[in-house]
Structure 1
């Protein structure tokens, strides 16, 4: 039963990820295009950028165009690892 649930979850994850795509206009190969390190930085400052974007339409939380997968990976790491996404939720509470 446990194996079946895992298999269904994997199939569902692949089915949902097949729908994800990035438009070609959002990816650039020019040398000054934001890459992994800019993605990491933008992921780290995401909370502040989001708050700023609510008040100023010139502030964006995600750089377009970027170089694609490496920028996305850096952004993901910035949000989860540097932003403390999984660290703070995993601490045991002391009573």
Structure 2
């Protein structure tokens, strides 16, 4: 593939990512400053148990995979870490593993 073609694809992908991310928003009612609102540690836990919560949510409307309202950014960061790091997201997605 030629360099101009690769560059135009990169620009198109960046433009698409910006367009899609512009649609993201959080409802003010979804963020709480109360002491009892789920924070970073609850987000970490909810991210870790996400696969099981998702399966359960398919069969029961009482099970949710994401707590609302929560503390906002810190809950989201914990949720992300729980899914990717604790859940093995990047490890299990790798194509090759080193064997000793």
Output the TM-score relative to the length of structure 2: 0.80
The structure 1 segments of at least 4 consecutive aligned residues displaced by more than 4 Å after TM superposition are: none
Structure 2 portions without partners, runs of 5+:
none
Question: How many positions carry a matched residue from both structures?
Answer: 94
1:57 is displaced (CA, Å) by 2.1
* 1:19-65 Cα deviation digits (max 9, x unpaired): 01111111111112111111111000011111222233222111000
1:50, 1:62 → 2: CA distance? 10
Output the TM-score relative to the length of structure 1: 0.84
Supply the RMSD in Å over aligned alpha carbons: 1.9
Pair 1:89 & 2:93 matched: yes
Pair member with larger Rg:
2
